[in-house]
Structures are given as structure tokens and as C-alpha cells.
Structure 1
Amino acid sequence: MIVVAALRDTSHANFRQAGYWLDKTVDQLLTEAVARAPDKVAMVADRADRDQAPRFTYRELDDLANRAASSLLRLGVGRGDVVTVQLPNWWEFVVTAFACSKIGAVMNPVMPILRERELVYILNFCQAKVFIVPKRYRGFDYAAMAQGMRAELPHLKHVIVADGEGETGFERMLLSADAGELPAGLRPDDMAVLMFTSGTTGEPKGVMHTSNSLIACCKALSGRFGLDSSDVLLVASPVGHMTGYAAIVLLSVYLGGTMILQDIWEAKRGVGLMAREGVTYTAASTPFLSDICEAVKGGSPQPKSLRSFLCGGAPIPSALIERAAGELGLKVCSLWGMTEVLSGTLTEPSRAADKSASTDGRSLEGMEVRIVDTEGNPVPAGEPGRLLVRGAQMFKGYYKRPELPTFDGDGWFDSGDLAYMDKDGYIRISGRVKDILIRGGENVPVVEIENLLYKHPAVSAVAVVGFPDARLGERGCAFIVPRSGSTIDLTAVQAYLGEARMAKQFWPERIELVAELPRTASGKIQKFRLRELAAAFAEAK
């Protein structure tokens, strides 16, 4: 471990010397943006349930963040304490993120789709002192859910409710008092954000990122896309993911640009926002791009300023890239990344037409990728192998899980993905070692779903796999061997997972009852055969 630590210290020094690490903190980005252009619009906060979208200048955003930071201090939140935030793309999320940085607290964004089962684990694991939720969002009562969980959360001191009234309301608790003097905030190498992955072995892992790694992502993306302070960025991807949080929200403040928040993705409204606000850049998964094209085809105004679309989470059909270029004049740039890596590879706009459909890009500045065989030896171009990555955007480690493998002796991280590299250095993800499926850019925790279904009295054996879907990339199919004398259908499966308080987006959308599951001689389920069977479902449409 001493050798590895020394190696990482050396690589960190190299990141600084090369300019990949700027030794700034998240809150410094906001301070610098205020100094450059205090009266420039920093944020436009569109909400589906409101006609007017409030606009905030950089000066106003900074003032709100300072007041929220002072209030968090009064609530007992200090350096290293975790603030869990389950908000959609609302302005309150952005204010909280910068407030946490100002006092050295750790921002822990979680997706609005999560429910009690996932949240109790996360909140207890990171011992969050504060939990911030919306009062209601998409018809669901988050405030009631949060209060109902209190008995299971001994470390939680405060539930704060955006749109809430009374003592627990966001504005009452965090914004009603003037800002006081703040202590020193984050340091560049402190954990700035803690984001949990969808668990593939039953337990999500907390991924730790520093200001240095987050800002390295912003610097690399802005360089490859040629972005500057004149750019307007649409935040339609959830801020509970690194795409929304790092690749758009933080990137916008890094640039000193303007972010447009959209809390519920609805293509016609989103395209209208792009046209009205002059959006030039956004980042999202493939379904968003397809929806934009369909909305414009259906009569929505063309977003003429939109020139760059960062697209990740699933392969991009070549027909969709050609359609976006032809109908929107848009360059779609493929990306490979993950919570631990942020943005690892990206196709630059100048190569989008010939590389985005067939590759997931080449390594970004400050990042390295290599593809190796099972012995760790590099493989020739075009040959598949395990994808390793290292560089300035890498995570710090897994929170409270030092036993989990991270970096080898040379600083490489095994992504768990299979890929091959072409002669130009562009990679293509060809499979996944990890047993997950990706639905609409969201990692679905297959093993956890299977473990739950195994407990159902009608289930003897089960395996969940993905099958192709034109819009979402994949949907989930559960192959079930029912117990003798029992039967089960999709409605029963979904009801059971709902009772187990699992997020609805993780539920299988198809089930197939089978007499047995295909297995190897040693008894291991052959999921590749199930995927072949499930692929027929997409073809049959």
C-alpha cells in the first residue's frame, strides 16, 4: 500500500504540473464567476408545475448559497458531515451544492426515483445529518416518506422540505437569516461529493470525488467542446447523476455560463426552452436525443443555437446521429464514463459524424485508457478485453469501504467493462463484466432484484436480463421458474417489488415463465443464453 500511495502522490503532482488539477474548490468556481460577471444570469429554473421560471444572477446565487451555508452551520453541519439531497432539477439543489462546499460539508445527491429501501441504507451508511426533499414531485409525497423513515435513521437530525411550509420549509430553515461569517470551506483534495452507484451485489457503493477531480472533468469537457462563458447549458439530465451534476451544473459555473434547469423531461417543453433561452450545449442519454428530434418533427421550434450534445449511457444508433445532424444541425458526441471515472472518453465534435455511432470516444485530456486480457497484458487494436482507466478525473475511493478493490500498483482502475480499441485510439464498449442492465441511462441493480424475487413464495429460481429497446436502450426481463403448483405474472412481480419499496424504474417490464434456467455444468446460470432469448422480444415488435 505504501508503494501505491507514493505512486498516487506522484501522479497527483503530475496532474497539478500539467494543469489538469487546478487546486480550486467547487465554491471557488462560484466566487470567481461572481467576480467576473455578478449581474449575469447564472440560472433559469423551469418547473413543469409553474408558468414562470425564476432567474438568478451570479450575485444572487452566491448570496443564497452563503445564507444556506450559515444556516447549515447553525443546524450543526460542519466539515466532513454529509448532507443528503433528494431533489429534482430545482434551484434549491444548486444552492445547497455550493452551500455545502462553502463550509466543507459533503454533498450527497440521490435520485428522486429512490424509495425507502434504498434511502434508509444510504442515509444510515453515510450518517447524514440533514436530508433535503421536495414536498411533492411527480405526484409523490416525499415529505411524508422522509418523516416516515425517521425512526430508522438515528443519525438524521433535520428533514428540510423544498416547497414546504412551516418550520421544515427550505426557505424558512436555510434562507430566512442573513449570512454570517463562514469558516474555511472545502480543500481541493477533500471529498466534495458522495454519490452512490446502483448496487450490483445488493449494496450500493459510495463513490467519493474531490473538487480537483470534478473540476478536471469540467476543464476537459469545456476544452474538447470549445465552451466558454457565452454558452447556455440545459440541465435536463437528473442532477442526482454525475451527468447532470458535474457535466452540466458545475461545468456551467466553471465557464461562467448560464444553466437552464428543467425538472421533468418533456420534449416539447424542453425544445421550447432551448429555443427561447438559446441553449448551446446539453448532456443526456440517447432517449433524450430521440425525443428532441421527434418534438421538432412534430412542430416544436427548432433549437437553432444548440450545437453540441454529449451522449452517453448506451450506444447511439447511426441513423439517430444522421437525423440529428440533418434535421437539427447538431453534432452528437459519444461518451463513456461512470460514477467513479466521470468522463473517461469522448468523441470530439470534429469526428462526431464518423466516430460517434461506432465508438464511445477517445480518452480525454488528463485521462488514459487501456484494454487488457485476463493476465493484464495489452491486447492488439480491434481485440476485446477489460477496460482499464486512470487519470485526473478518477474518484478518491469507496466511502467506508477500503477493502473494495480500486487502483492497482500502476494506478489503473478496472472499469468492469469489456471493450476494444480501434487504430485511432477510440474505444467501443462491447459488454459488461458487471451484471447490470442499463435502462434509459440508469444502472439497474440486477442482483438485488433477483434476491428479492427469490423470496417470493411463488418463485423457485429467477434471472433478470436486459433486452434491447429503441428508446431506453434496454428494458428488464425476469425469467422465472415457478414453484410447483404456483404461478406468477408481471402484475404480481411489480406489486411485490413495490411492497418491498424498490424504485419503480428498477422493476422488470416483462416476465417469462420457464421450466428451468440454462446453466453450466457447475450450476452457474448462463445469462448470455437468456439475453439471446430476450433479444427476440425487441425483434418481435
Structure 2
Amino acid sequence: METAILYPLIAHDDAARPLARFAGRERSAGRFLADVAELAERLPERDALLNACQNRYLFAVVLYACALRGKLCLLPASHSPETIHQLAADYPALGCLSDRPDGGIALPTLLIDESLLAAPGARHWPPPSLPAGQRIARVFTSGSTGRPQGHDKYWGALVETTRAGMESLGLASGFALLGTVPAQHMYGLESTLLLPLLGGGLLSDERPFYPADVQAALAGLPAPRVLVSTPFHLRTLLESGLAVPELTLLTSATAPLSGELAGQLEGHFGAPLLEIYGCTETGQLATRRSALTEEWECMPGVELRPDGAERAVAHGGHVWQAQPLNDRVELYGARRFRLLGRTADLVNVAGKRSSLAYLTQQLLAIPGVADGVFFLPEEESAGAVVRLAALVVAPKLTRTTLLAALRQRIDAAFLPRPLKFAAALPRNTTGKLPLTALRAALHEPATDD
């Protein structure tokens, strides 16, 4: 990759063209760039800044303002006190940019609101450009398998991955996009923020959670509409039975989506659902239409090469440096594959081998189970007997009934000890389940006690 190539901040071809909906009103491309330029002049003199803005428009303005000033934007998946404490230790001069006056983040904080943006009627044109080799952000893993790890993101790779995503998703400019996931996560950054900004779309600043809020937010957007979400949010929306305005596309990521659920979602919403596969290290890598196939197809320019049994390395396209996948795969040539489970997901109990993902799928397939997960309740140690735990949301099932159903689906060696009933799983804002939160939940009162 030629890192000196310049790429513009947005793909919109006219300053007057709508770029976002912010606080219920359309914001033009020229006004957005004016907001970016204005905030860039007001940023604190710190080399690294935590972008904690929850409003997606303000998050975008902060990200781009930091880029114009050459400041590193930190994007942790969580703002928990423990995460902030770790970041403050790793970045002694770290500051925070937040749109919440009561955000509770123990860092020197600049409150981001409209008073720091450009005056009404202001516009900036043409769009500034950045070199492909400029580091824009450091995005952190979710911590679902341990302590979050940071990975640097460069402008050229972000532009290339967005263009590849546009092609894989079959999108053209002019779409309006709503996301139920935060922009701090890699999936949210690529699909809810960069996709509309670098794909000539309309960005929505809303992040609805409840089905009625999703319905209302979609109704406020013009067609063609795209909904970017997760299996957890999509299942909840489907079970609500609410009708939503016409959609052009649904996307899902952050957790596996069964073909059965994908088919139900397509039937209910009348739009294709494309699942996106990727990781924080590489960004998005492949897509599949889950209602029709289990096979994934790599995004343009990306290929996989074998790296031992059930292992592969991604390279090419926006993946500038070859990156081993964290998942086990079955390859069908260089561009198609099937997922077999995470490498760190394998468990061996009494000489029998399975994966946590497979066991979780079997749990979720039991009628009456609304949500659930298998996990290791403690760190493995050499010579120790491996035992599994499970948290489950199943208000209409008894422990005896659930265990009997599990015995019909999995080997008795993998039955969870303990099996804990809960009112809800400790999912974060992207629908993921951090391991520390799961282990902590084991010590909370059970709903069937």
C-alpha cells in the first residue's frame, strides 16, 4: 500500500447534500466539515484522546477533528472504571471528549456539545484529505476472552475496507443508515459511521435499543434504508412483532447468526440479511447471506491462505499486514470458507472435545430458552479438571427440564456445572458477553433460587 496517497474525509460530492441527521434535523456535508474544522481548533493539547461520545454525529465530528489535528483517538469497547483505570495507566496524559456531562469517566474531560461546533449556516468545502498512512484511531477488543487489546487503524485501510464493504453489501450512494450498535466497536465504526461517510450515505445519530424506538428511528429516515444490528437486537425486534418501514438491507455481526433466525428475519422484514465476519485486528473480512448458506465470501481484494490444520491467515486488500484468524476454518479455495469455531473456544472434558460456540448453539436451540451462553468459570490451569458453566434466560423452564433437554443434544460430559438462571445476560452495548462479566454473574442471586 502506498501510504502517501490522499483520501478525502467524505465521499459526498456537494456541500449541500445531506450527510447526517443530528438532533432530529438534517446536516449537510458542508456543515459537517465546518463542525469538524471548528472543533479541531478547540481540542485540548493532548496527544491521545478518548472518544466517549454516545451521539453518533458528535462521535464522527470528534474522530475527524482528532484526525485533522493528528491526535490519536482511543476507542475502547467499554467505559467501565476498570477499563478507564487501565487506559489512564497506559496513557498518562490521556484526556476525554464526551457528550455526557455526567459520564462518570475519571479523566480530564471536555464536554462536546453544539457550542463547540460551527455557527448555523457555516460550511466548509471542499473536503480535506488525509494521507493513507496516517494513524487515525486505536480500537480495542471487547474483552470477551480476556483483557482488551488495542489495534491501530490507518486512514487508507479504513477507506479501502469501506469501499470493499460497499461492494460486498451491494450498496450505492444515497442510502440512509441506522445502527443499534455503538461506533466505538470495530463493527460499529465501519458499518454505522464510515459506511455512510465514505459511501455517500446519510448517517443517523440515533442508537435505539427497544423495538419501538428502532421502528420510530427508521420511520424518520428516507428510503432506501439500511439497518445495522446484532443477532440479539434483531431477535428482540423480530419477537416484538412490530412492523418497520421498508428496508433495503439488514446487516448483523458480533455473534453467530443461525440460518433459521436469518430466514425468519428476512421473511418478516422483506429484505436480505447479510452477516459480516471480521475482527478488531483486521476489520471486516467477509460476508454471507446466512439464510441461504453457511459459507463466507471474502471481501474484494482479501484472501485466506492455509496456516496449519483448520487455521488460516488473511491478507490482501485492506489487510495491509497478514493476520492469522482467531477462528478455526474450513477453506474452499482462497476466498470462500466455513467457520468451525474460535481457536480459544475449544474445550476438552474427560477426553472429549467440543467448542463453547457449539454448546451455546445447542442451548439456544431449546424451546423456551430466550438467551444463554456456555463459558469457562475460571482460568484453566495445568492438570486441573475442566468444568463448564452456563448462564441462561429461560423463565418458563425448570432446571430439571432444561438439563433433560440439554442431555438430548450434548454429551453428558459437557453439561454445565453450574447452570445459572438469570433475568438477563450481562451483554455490553454491542451485544457481546465479556468474560469478566459472565464470571461475576455466577456470584449473583439466581432467578430460580
Contact 2:157 2:319 in 1 (8 A): yes
- Report the Cα distance in structure 1 between the residues aligned to 2:251 and 2:146, rounded to whole angstroms: 31
| Structure 2 counterpart of 1:281, from 226, 243, 246 | 226
2:438 paired with 1:507: yes
Contact 1:104 1:185 in 2 (8 A): no
Match of 1:314, SS? coil
| Structure 1 counterpart of 2:319, from 386, 394, 398 | 394
- Report the Cα distance in structure 2 between the residues aligned to 1:199 and 1:308, rounded to whole angstroms: 29
Query: How large is the Cα RMSD of the aligned pairs?
Result: 4.1
Partner of 1:341: 282
- Report the Cα distance in structure 1 between the residues aligned to 2:308 and 2:301, rounded to whole angstroms: 24
Q: TM-score, normalised by structure 2?
A: 0.73
Partner of 1:532: none
Amino acid at match of 2:312: L
Q: TM-score, normalised by structure 1?
A: 0.61
**Alpha carbons of structure 1 residues 389 and 222: separation in structure 2 relative to 1, 3 Å:** same
2:175 paired with 1:250: no
- Report the Cα distance in structure 2 between the residues aligned to 1:478 and 1:324, rounded to whole angstroms: 30
**Alpha carbons of structure 1 residues 507 and 335: separation in structure 2 relative to 1, 3 Å:** same
- Report the Cα distance in structure 2 between the residues aligned to 1:478 and 1:88, rounded to whole angstroms: 37
Partner of 2:327: 417
Contact 1:490 1:510 in 2 (8 A): no
Partner of 2:30: 59
Q: Which has the higher helix share?
A: 1
| Structure 2 counterpart of 1:354, from 292, 295, 298 | 292
Structure 1 residue runs of 5 or longer lacking an equivalent are 1-11, 14-20, 47-52, 151-157, 163-169, 375-384, 396-410, 455-459, 471-476, 481-488, 496-501, 514-539
Structure 2 residue runs of 5 or longer lacking an equivalent are 347-355, 361-372, 395-414, 427-432
**Alpha carbons of structure 1 residues 341 and 464: separation in structure 2 relative to 1, 3 Å:** farther
**Alpha carbons of structure 1 residues 220 and 201: separation in structure 2 relative to 1, 3 Å:** closer
Q: Deviations for 1:62-82, whole angstroms, at most 9, x for unmatched residues? A: 11110100111xx324xxx22
Shift of 1:464: 6.6
Match of 1:252, SS? helix
2:109 paired with 1:159: yes
Matches within 5 A, 1:448-463: 450=378
- Report the Cα distance in structure 2 between the residues aligned to 1:274 and 1:109, rounded to whole angstroms: 27
**Alpha carbons of structure 1 residues 223 and 22: separation in structure 2 relative to 1, 3 Å:** farther
- Report the Cα distance in structure 2 between the residues aligned to 1:503 and 1:174, rounded to whole angstroms: 35
Matches within 5 A, 1:99-178: 99-111=65-77, 113-127=78-92, 129-135=94-100, 141-142=102-103, 145-146=104-105, 149-150=106-107, 158-162=108-112, 170-172=113-115
- Report the Cα distance in structure 1 between the residues aligned to 2:389 and 2:117, rounded to whole angstroms: 44
Match of 1:319, SS? helix
**Alpha carbons of structure 1 residues 329 and 318: separation in structure 2 relative to 1, 3 Å:** same
Match of 1:354, SS? coil
2:268 paired with 1:303: no
Q: Deviations for 1:242-294, whole angstroms, at most 9, x for unmatched residues? A: 11111221110112210112234222211222233135223322122223323
**Alpha carbons of structure 1 residues 97 and 389: separation in structure 2 relative to 1, 3 Å:** same
Partner of 1:398: none
Q: Percent identity?
A: 18
**Alpha carbons of structure 1 residues 478 and 511: separation in structure 2 relative to 1, 3 Å:** farther
Amino acid at match of 2:267: G
Shift of 1:467: 6.3
Partner of 1:221: 165
2:181 paired with 1:231: no
**Alpha carbons of structure 1 residues 96 and 430: separation in structure 2 relative to 1, 3 Å:** same
Match of 2:300, SS? coil
Match of 1:71, SS? coil
Shift of 1:128: 5.0
Contact 1:231 1:281 in 2 (8 A): yes
2:9 paired with 1:29: yes
- Report the Cα distance in structure 1 between the residues aligned to 2:32 and 2:235, rounded to whole angstroms: 33
Shift of 1:116: 1.1
Number of residue pairs the alignment of both structures matches = 385
Amino acid at match of 1:40: R
Match of 2:275, SS? strand
